Structure 1
Amino acid sequence: MARRLQALDGMIAQEKNRLETVSQDLRADIECHIAFMAQQQDKLRQQMQQHIDQHPHLKGQQQLLDSIPGIGKDTAARLLGELGNWQTFASARQLAAHAGVTPQEKTSGTSVHGKPRLSKLGNTRLRKLLFFPALTLLRWNDSIQHWRDSLLKRGKTKKQVVGAVMHKVIRWIFAVLHSHKPFDPNLAFPVQPA
């Protein structure tokens, strides 16, 4: 269901892009198609939520994910669908590698001095689900903003900072699911001694 929702997101975006270039004759048809797909999305979201509500362990996991800043109920449901049996990952590092948000350094050939980037070897859909929570945190969370500023001062690019926040979010996801405890900002951002 989560993957179907993501597919519908893409199809709606395509149709909206077509609206910008289409002749007036086809505009109504495309708008009707967008409305239909939006209704399908709503139905699918309701089905996903009903499924989660029927399974107490999924409901609990959704609430744990919803406690993480930047992740809402809908994103939590989609993450659960994409994570599947997250218990197969022994550590947050393994889950981050599965999501493709671990840094990859260039260390061979003539590009020995290349900048590290995201490996992108993992689950593309999971990585996409981490992107908007990361942007939300960068925009609204004071602790992440301070961390972002320190990364930028150390020479990281904005793109690398977004990747680092995505990496942090996937580690939080593992932590709350593994510990069965809601997100605790004091553990995520410990107060530094003066």
Structure 2
Amino acid sequence: MLQIGIDVSKKKLDICLLLEGISGKRKTKVIDNNAHSANELINWLGKQKCRLEEVRIVLEATGTYHELLCDQLFDAGIYLSIVNPYRIREFAKGMGILTKNDTVDAYTLACFGTLKQPDAWVPPPAEIRELKSLLRRRDALLADVLCEQNRLEKAEVTRTPKIVMRSLMKMLKALEKEQKAIEAEIAKHINSHPNMKKDMDLLTSIKSVGPQLGGNMLMVLRGRNFHSAEQVAAYLGVAPVERRSGTSVNGHAHLSKAGPSDIRAKLFFAALTATRFNPHVKALYERLLAKGKSKMSALGAAMRKLVHLCYGVLKTQLPYDGNYAISC
């Protein structure tokens, strides 16, 4: 098998092809990141006498800049894997690769693919991808609304001209209207797909899981093939990481924070509510505090518990039961 690493940026793709393993001969190529990138890459591989069925491509998840390329490569029947950038950075350190630039990153990704052989990526269903786009837009509008509210608040306590005040209020009203319209579209989209609607009902049956977190967890859990709740927790960056060795190193466990920070933030605020109103999370939180754990450590465990509950209701296809085995 021929391993390829691709470092993706907004404007270009840095490609590294390992012809003879990690320490052997390799070839590099830089191409533009656009709608024709996949075809250009395939043509280049043909010139290198590489058969597509023998190629294994590894690249990082970089916001949205990798999505079109991945879709086109998948449609071409090429085996590719999308890996977490945090894992690649730690892998590079373990390999003794301290330099970080696009060419080195592409080589590191190729090495990672050779040694770790990550699973193949499969694109999420079309309805999940549309949900992801809608949720992204809603989050952007929520951020804009908050910014405009802060501007209006500052303007109200200073000598601000009336024309500026009118502009602020007009813009805030327009943003709030658009936010409500997108939220209505999200609800419409979910309700138009029976399986998604059922999953959303199951997720929001969990106390403290509302439409925002429910929609994001639906996107995560149905957009990837997770085999366990622990995998979901690790992906979202709420898995505990210990730092202990011998008698001299005895650091406190902390969240890995290796996943999407926006969903993790929603989990955090949901966990705050869950420690008061969700019987399972509340029992866990109070038990950890009684053992002397810090509040932040207990909140991290509460976030993981919510992830496990979300995974559980979709796995069993049963609504949340607040009275079920609370002692666990």
Give yes or no for TM over 0.5.
yes
1:65 aligned to which of 183, 196, 203: 203
Q: Distance in 2 between matches of 1:179 and 1:100?
A: 24
Aligned partner of 1:7 in structure 2 is: 140
Aligned equivalent of 1:161: 298
Which of 268, 271, 276 is the aligned partner of 1:131?
A: 268
- Give the number of aligned pairs: 190
CA distance in 2, matches of 1:41, 1:111: 52
Q: 2:229 is matched with which residue: 92, 100, 106?
A: 92
The correspondence of residues 13-24 of structure 1 with structure 2, limited to 5 A, is 13-22=146-155, 23=158, 24=160
Structure 1 pair 11/83, CA: closer, same or farther in 2 (3 Å)? farther
Higher share of residues assigned strand: 2
Query: Which of 278, 282, 285 is the matching residue for 1:145?
Result: 282
| 1:81 alignment partner in structure 2 | 219
SS of equivalent to 2:172: helix
Structure 1 window deviating more from structure 2 (31-40 vs 57-66): it is: 31-40
1:115 is aligned to 252
Q: Report the CA distance shift for 1:141/1:184 in structure 2 as closer, same or farther (over 3 A).
A: closer
- Equivalent residue in structure 2 for 1:36, among 174, 177, 186: 174
Mapped to 1, the partners of 2:148 and 2:244 lie a distance apart of 42
Q: Does 1:170 align with 2:170?
A: no
After superposition, the C-alpha distances for 1:89-148 in whole angstroms (9 at most, x for unaligned) are 11000001111111112236x982221111100122221221222111113345533432
Listed as ranges, the gaps of 5+ residues in structure 1 are: none
Q: Contact between 2:213 and 2:263, CA under 8 Å: does it hold in 1?
A: no
Aligned residue runs from structure 1 range 40-59, under 5 A = 40-59=178-197
Larger displacement relative to structure 2 (46-55 or 19-28): 19-28
Cα distance change, pair 142–84 in 1 and its aligned pair in 2 (3 A): closer
**Structure possessing the higher relative contact order (Cα contacts under 8 Å, 6 or more residues apart):** 1
Greater displacement, 7-16 / 133-142? 133-142
Aligned AA for 1:17? N
- Please tell me the residue identity of whatever aligns with 2:184: Q
Q: Is the 8 A contact 2:206 2:309 kept in 1?
A: yes
SS in 2 for 1:89: coil
Higher helix share: 1
TM-score, structure 1 normalization: 0.86
- Percent of aligned pairs with the same residue? 34
TM-score (norm 2): 0.53
Report if aligned partners of 2:207, 2:277 keep a CA contact under 8 Å in 1.
no
Q: Residue type matched to 2:191 in 1?
A: D
Amino acid at match of 1:189: I
Judging changes above 3 Å, is the alpha-carbon distance between structure 1 residues 12 and 142 closer, same or farther for their aligned structure 2 residues? same
Q: Distance in 1 between matches of 2:192 and 2:281?
A: 35
Q: What SS does the aligned partner of 1:51 have?
A: helix
CA contact (8 A) 1:49 1:77 kept: no
- Do structure 1's residue 187 and structure 2's residue 320 form an aligned pair? no
Q: Runs of 5+ in structure 2 lacking a partner?
A: 1-133
